[in-house]
């Protein structure tokens, strides 16, 4: 997986929605709830997808958002 873009790896339509939301040009870090709103997926499904790829393609921030929510970003954007 390393060195490959998520677009080359992710084929599931729901997973692609989540990764497209994370890869938007306006954001480096996103909250899980924001990704859920943008994709139209339940937050529980977004959480499953993010858990599946944590430390593979995504990474959670050590610092929460201003509102206290956990943040997640694409490793290719935020680094490992």
What pLDDT is recorded for position 80? 79
Q: What is the DSSP string of 28-75?
A: SSEEHHHHHHHHT--HHHHHHHHHHHBTTTEEE-SS--TTS--EEEEH
For the stretch 65-77, pLDDT in tens is: 999 999 999 999 9
What's the start-to-end Cα distance of the chain, in Å? Answer: 13
Backbone φ and ψ for 28, nearest 5 degrees, come out as -105, -50
The encoded tokens of residue 26 equal 């306006």
Question: 6-78: which CATH topology?
Answer: Arc Repressor Mutant, subunit A (1.10.10)
12-60 residue pLDDT tens: 999 999 999 999 889 999 999 999 999 999 999 999 999 999 999 999 9
**50 contacts 18 by C-beta, under 8 angstroms:** yes
The whole-number pLDDT of residue 1 equals 52
For the chain, give every domain's residue range. Answer: 6-78
């Amino acid at each position: 997986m390393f060195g490959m873009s998520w677009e080359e790896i992710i084929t599931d339509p729901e997973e692609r929605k989540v990764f497209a939301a994370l890869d938007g040009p306006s954001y480096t870090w996103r909250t899980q709830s924001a990704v859920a709103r943008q994709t139209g997926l339940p937050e529980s499904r977004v959480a499953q997808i993010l858990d599946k790829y944590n430390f593979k393609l995504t990474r959670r921030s050590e610092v929460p958002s201003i509102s206290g929510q956990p943040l997640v970003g694409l490793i290719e954007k935020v680094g490992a």
